[in-house]
Structure 1
Amino acid sequence: MTRQTVVLGAGMVGVSIAWHLRQRGHEVTLIDRLQPGRETSFGNAGIIQREAVRPYPFPRDVKTLLSVLPNRRVDIRYRAAGMFSAASPLLRYWLNSAPKNYQHIVPEYASLIQLSLKTHGPMIDAAGAEHLVRRQGWLELYRTPHKLAARIKEAEEARQLYGVQFEVLDRAALAAKEPAISDTIIGAIHWLDPWTVADPGALVAAYAQAFNDDGGRILQADIRSVQQVNRRWQVRTETETLEVDSVVVALGPWAGKWLKELGYRFPTFVKRGYHMHYSSQGEAKLNFWVMDAEVGYLLAPMNAGIRLTTGAELDQLDAPADVNQLSAAEKAARSVFPLGEHRDDAPWKGARPCLPDMKPVIGPAPRHPGLWLAFGHGHQGFTLGPATGQLLTDMIEGTPTAIDMAPFRADRF
């Protein structure tokens, strides 16, 4: 019999799950209040980060923590209300970032990252989206020799343990690749594995179109309720009610709120972020995605212009935007690359869905047969969507998975 599934959330994770399920013969409806790829997946840095085998830990050294307190850094900002509302998960995040705990988390997290390119590839082909993808890696820029040396040491370890490929660029080699970069940058790491995407939202939309062309259904509607009725699931939207065999919750930063209605209390929190697009001055050209690693922003030459993305802002999901972090990032970026005028009327704001052990939930809900969960990917939902889609579909189908999924089970919380 045809298996009927509803996937809630049409970001990179939800679209990828829907695509994989449809490939295995499921009758799938993908539901979101917006068109695919218009929320968190729209505003990211557009890198499929095969090199990102280590999740972002909470700062633990006193010097860094003290530097955060004035709330003027580019890479991390906070608001008191957001810190208070997420106090418990943030404390657990800090504890999990201790060296002893973190060293156990990294190989589990890396097992997902290592699947990123091999799972994006077939979806890019199916979607005819090669024109959006550049396979040239990206550059991590450094201002001081000792910070670059420390990062090279980490990169060497990542190469040895996880097959990450890179090369070190001195000032001359960097200038050959990026002539317009200021000489305040003394060198860089060129991460060779990652793919970059000139329009992240368009890639998600292309994946969704491939799903639709293969017989999947996309329903743009507000979700009103999700409940189990006997052994089936009922999903009510503003326009219709669907009764299906299974439901997948891939709602990113909104997953925790929705799952509370089914009796689950996951320690979710968000790291918000901003972006703005710019022209460049004169004949200046940015050839690669570049991150000013010691300051904490990224510049990306996208179709809409040069995208400047900020670091993390710890605040409540729906709190009003605060553009001070973006303004600080722009000031720093202008000292490194000759940015021109704004191309957007207003900054974009989004939120990364996070869990305190830095790993997503991927798998069955503990108490509800037919309910499947895929959320909490932090900074890497764009990178890990297709891997999550493949792995969750294997779990739903009862077939062996490419990696051990125990570290991502929902009942670990």
Structure 2
Amino acid sequence: MLKSDVVVLGAGIVGVSVALHLQAKGRKVTLLDRRAPGEETSYGNAGLIERASVVPYSFPRDLLVLARYALNHNVDAHYDPLFAPKIAPWLFRFWYHSQPERLKQISKELLPLIQNSLSEHKALIAAAGMEHLIREVGWIEVFRKEESHAKAIAEAKEIYAPHGLKFDILDAAALKAREPHLKDVVVGGVHWLDPASVRDPSALVKGYADLFVKRGGTFAIGDARTLEAEGNGYRFETRDGPATADQAVIALGPWANDVYGGFGYDFPLAVKRGYHMHYAPVGNAVLGHTLLDVDKGFLLAPMNKGVRLTTGVEFADRDAPPSPIQLQRAEPVAKELFPLGDHVDPEPWMGRRPCLPDMKPVIGPAPRHKGLWFAFGHNHHGLTLGPVTGRILAEMIAGETPFIDPAPYGADRF
């Protein structure tokens, strides 16, 4: 029977990072997933290590904006009307935590994670030999309206500059110089210089997982829902039979509730679904940076596979069939911005973002079960925060003082 010091449930960026950091502490670790590493939520994100995101995505406060969302015709957000009554209580809590003073405090509590996100990635990137996937060119917000551009410039100077973040303000000509193949629908941009971009997020996670196995870790295929307490430890099933571990980490992103619910925990975990499709550029067009079209609400990212168009948020049941609506709305407006050609993928990819209403992840021990640990709920920033989460949790499990105070991320806040 396979025996480990720790089993980490979930082989996305968070789980793989936790496993690597525990391994570095001398722990014998099993990494368990139903699929190969990096093939769920970690597969389909925007590919940004978002060092500049010091303010989390919050609930809109403008009544006109809310009315527009309620009509359900937007590119950047869509909801299933039948799902609306179920998600409404969570949205109310999200709105509550998005009030300006609370958002300011939440941003302050998230800041240490964001500030250390790129440096923690770089350590793993170097160890795993994944430098070929990383481009330190930042990313660019682009604007179609003068008023939204002016608002973004003011926020960059007032909110982000005090944190030492570097950015360039671009008029239409300067933006065109950096992205020559953009069409003439934009009036300017803000180029955030600190973040890094990843040309294949799934390959990065697989590279980290390969490093874990190379260093002696065990990757096992199995169903995380089989986890149960047994004696002073935990038992679970793998494809090759039963296994045990002294401690267990739930790092299952949007599926975390499938496991922690069995232990009697109930967190306000919701899922924001999203989609992507890869396109071949038309002719000799080249996209040099990841672009967020702020006024329309979609993102274009240069990937190894092509130009990835990623959508905003869809509120629907986690396991409901995919809906084509958001990509159908996003594709024509994206083609107004950049010359996208044929689809590269046979069908759209759908992913699920694990979100908590206070916009902070859960990182730390389970309050009522010795040896059970949580690392989930990273909202829109799982790729960004995976390695820093792994380091904090490994330090906690090892009985060390974490290099970042984990108190704001504790499970006991709910």
Q: 2:11 aligns to what?
A: 10
The letter of the residue matching 2:181 is: A
Pairing 1:187-226 to 2, within 5 Å after superposition? 187-226=188-227
SS in 1 for 2:19: helix
Flag the 1:44–1:9 CA change in 2: closer, same or farther, 3 A.
Answer: same
Q: 2:95 aligns to what?
A: 94
SS in 2 for 1:286: coil
Q: 1:276 aligns to what?
A: 277
Q: Aligned-pair distance for 1:85?
A: 2.2
Q: Aligned-pair distance for 1:110?
A: 1.7
Q: 2:181 aligns to what?
A: 180
CA contact (8 A) 1:5 1:244 kept: yes
Q: 1:410 aligns to what?
A: 411
Which TM-score applies when normalising by structure 2?
0.97
Q: Provide the C-alpha distance between the structure 1 equivalents of 2:224 and 2:96, rounded to a whole number of angstroms.
A: 35
2:397 is the counterpart of 1:396:
yes
Pairing 1:140-179 to 2, within 5 Å after superposition? 140-179=141-180
Q: 1:259 aligns to what?
A: 260
Q: 1:130 aligns to what?
A: 131
CA deviations 1:280-306 (Å, max 9, x no partner) are: 111111111111011110111111110
CA contact (8 A) 1:81 1:316 kept: no
SS in 2 for 1:264: coil
Q: 1:302 aligns to what?
A: 303
SS in 2 for 1:335: helix
Q: Provide the C-alpha distance between the structure 2 equivalents of 1:202 and 1:128, rounded to a whole number of angstroms.
A: 12
CA contact (8 A) 1:133 1:195 kept: yes
SS in 1 for 2:380: helix
Q: Provide the C-alpha distance between the structure 1 equivalents of 2:44 and 2:113, rounded to a whole number of angstroms.
A: 22
Pairing 1:17-166 to 2, within 5 Å after superposition? 17-166=18-167
- Which range moves more in the overlay, 109-118 or 149-158? 149-158
CA contact (8 A) 1:224 1:237 kept: no
Which TM-score applies when normalising by structure 1?
0.97
SS in 1 for 2:268: coil
Q: Provide the C-alpha distance between the structure 1 equivalents of 2:186 and 2:61, rounded to a whole number of angstroms.
A: 26
SS in 2 for 1:176: helix
CA deviations 1:200-257 (Å, max 9, x no partner) are: 1000000000111011111122234111122111122343221111000000000022
Q: Aligned-pair distance for 1:45?
A: 0.5
Q: 1:237 aligns to what?
A: 238
The letter of the residue matching 1:68 is: Y
Q: Provide the C-alpha distance between the structure 2 equivalents of 1:289 and 1:82, rounded to a whole number of angstroms.
A: 32
CA deviations 1:369-393 (Å, max 9, x no partner) are: 1000000000000000000000101
Q: Provide the C-alpha distance between the structure 1 equivalents of 2:320 and 2:384, rounded to a whole number of angstroms.
A: 26
Q: 1:331 aligns to what?
A: 332
CA contact (8 A) 1:363 1:374 kept: yes
CA deviations 1:182-215 (Å, max 9, x no partner) are: 1210111110001101101000000000111011
Q: 2:361 aligns to what?
A: 360
The letter of the residue matching 1:302 is: M
The letter of the residue matching 1:270 is: V
The letter of the residue matching 1:65 is: L
CA contact (8 A) 1:363 1:392 kept: yes
CA contact (8 A) 2:4 2:244 kept: no
Q: 1:349 aligns to what?
A: 350
SS in 1 for 2:20: helix
Flag the 1:30–1:97 CA change in 2: closer, same or farther, 3 A.
Answer: same
The letter of the residue matching 2:88 is: A
Q: 1:292 aligns to what?
A: 293
2:332 is the counterpart of 1:317:
no
SS in 1 for 2:381: helix
Q: Provide the C-alpha distance between the structure 1 equivalents of 2:57 and 2:369, rounded to a whole number of angstroms.
A: 32
Q: Provide the C-alpha distance between the structure 1 equivalents of 2:7 and 2:241, rounded to a whole number of angstroms.
A: 13
CA contact (8 A) 1:114 1:162 kept: no
Q: Provide the C-alpha distance between the structure 1 equivalents of 2:253 and 2:327, rounded to a whole number of angstroms.
A: 23
CA deviations 1:95-117 (Å, max 9, x no partner) are: 11111221211111122111101
The letter of the residue matching 1:29 is: T
Gaps of 5+ in 1: none
Q: Provide the C-alpha distance between the structure 1 equivalents of 2:9 and 2:82, rounded to a whole number of angstroms.
A: 29
Flag the 1:3–1:341 CA change in 2: closer, same or farther, 3 A.
Answer: closer
Q: Provide the C-alpha distance between the structure 2 equivalents of 1:312 and 1:21, rounded to a whole number of angstroms.
A: 33
- Which range moves more in the overlay, 395-404 or 246-255? 395-404
Q: Aligned-pair distance for 1:144?
A: 1.5
SS in 1 for 2:244: strand
Q: Provide the C-alpha distance between the structure 2 equivalents of 1:283 and 1:243, rounded to a whole number of angstroms.
A: 55
Q: Provide the C-alpha distance between the structure 2 equivalents of 1:130 and 1:322, rounded to a whole number of angstroms.
A: 35
Q: Aligned-pair distance for 1:3?
A: 6.8
Q: Aligned-pair distance for 1:60?
A: 2.2
The letter of the residue matching 2:192 is: W
Q: Provide the C-alpha distance between the structure 2 equivalents of 1:367 and 1:161, rounded to a whole number of angstroms.
A: 40
Q: Aligned-pair distance for 1:152?
A: 1.6
CA contact (8 A) 1:223 1:238 kept: no
Q: 1:374 aligns to what?
A: 375
SS in 1 for 2:263: coil
Q: Provide the C-alpha distance between the structure 2 equivalents of 1:387 and 1:239, rounded to a whole number of angstroms.
A: 32
Q: 1:248 aligns to what?
A: 249
- Which range moves more in the overlay, 360-369 or 217-226? 217-226
